[in-house]
Amino acid sequence: MKAKIVGNSMLPYLKPGQMIDIWPVTDTTELRFGDILVFKEIDKLVCHIFIRRVRNIQDQSIHFITQGLNETREDIPIASENIFAKAKPCPWYYLALLLLKRAIRN
């Protein structure tokens, strides 16, 4: 499948208007740090980098933490049923940039 980038939260790696290949996610246990996830957020689809998994204390479900390259904060935890697809992993140098920005901010 193909998707068109409309926002700028993943600049400079993904640019508005750029077409990307995406693949449906059937098994969230196969997701890895740096994968670009496409997930449902209220009434839109968002494309951000997968950072880590967290466990919900109340019901023991697994949620996923993502963040856009141009965002200053992590997204709210995403339930696995809201993950629509994934794109190719983000290159290491953009991941390094994201991690450096996070380290400086903390």
N-term to C-term CA, the chain: 37
CB 80 within 8 A of CB 64: yes
**What pLDDT digit, counting tens, does each position of 33-43 carry?**
999 999 988 88
The whole-angstrom separation of Cα 43 and Cα 27 is 23
The whole-angstrom separation of Cα 76 and Cα 33 is 17
Evaluate the CA torsion angle 6, 28, 42, 55 in order and state its sign.
negative
**What pLDDT digit, counting tens, does each position of 33-87 carry?**
999 999 988 888 899 999 999 998 888 899 999 999 988 899 999 999 999 999 9
pTM greater than 0.75: yes
CB 15 within 8 A of CB 70: no
